């Protein structure tokens, strides 16, 4: 099932994220000019989306329009982070679907670390 099959408010996960040595190495290979010992916060978002896309099919022709991240607490990127994606909104305009996915990040004690919001456009056939 694709993102457009889910209604606003639908939650996915939770996903356990950590930048252990293996994951860090793989991320450093995939993203040019990244230091294996120091990643940007986008690494956490990217890994979360990788896990989410194992559960949800990304529709053909989908476009990632925007990304924002707000961290509220400093954390060690190697610690376990719990990520819970949620479809924040889903709107249709001219047969195109705009989906906002908000991801809440917390530590294992359920203390909020931050959140990210991604907007995806799913273009209509022939649109």
- What's the confidence (pLDDT) of residue 85? 98
Confirm if 39 and 24 have CB atoms less than 8 A apart: yes
Tens digits of residue pLDDT in 84-100: 999 999 999 988 999 99
Separation of alpha carbons 82 and 60, rounded Å: 29
Average pLDDT over residues 65-83: 87
- What's the confidence (pLDDT) of residue 112? 95
Read off the pTM: 0.85
Task: Give the domain ranges of the chain.
Answer: 3-122
Look at residue 29 and tell me whether its pLDDT is greater than 80. no
What is the second-level CATH architecture of the domain 3-122?
Roll (3.10)
Which has the minimum average pLDDT: 22-26, 90-94, 117-121?
22-26
- What's the confidence (pLDDT) of residue 24? 72
């Amino acid at each position: 099932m694709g993102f457009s099959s889910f209604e606003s408010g639908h939650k996915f996960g939770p996903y356990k994220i950590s930048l252990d040595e293996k994951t860090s190495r793989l991320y450093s290979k995939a993203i040019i000019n990244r230091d294996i010992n120091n990643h940007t916060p986008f690494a956490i978002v990217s890994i979360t989306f990788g896990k989410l896309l194992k559960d949800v099919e990304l529709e053909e022709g989908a476009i990632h329009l925007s990304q924002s991240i707000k961290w509220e607490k400093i954390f060690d990127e190697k610690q376990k982070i719990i990520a819970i994606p949620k479809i924040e909104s889903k709107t249709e305009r001219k047969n195109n679907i705009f989906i906002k996915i908000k991801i809440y990040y917390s530590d294992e004690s359920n203390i909020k670390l931050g959140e990210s919001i991604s907007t995806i456009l799913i273009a209509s056939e022939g649109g």
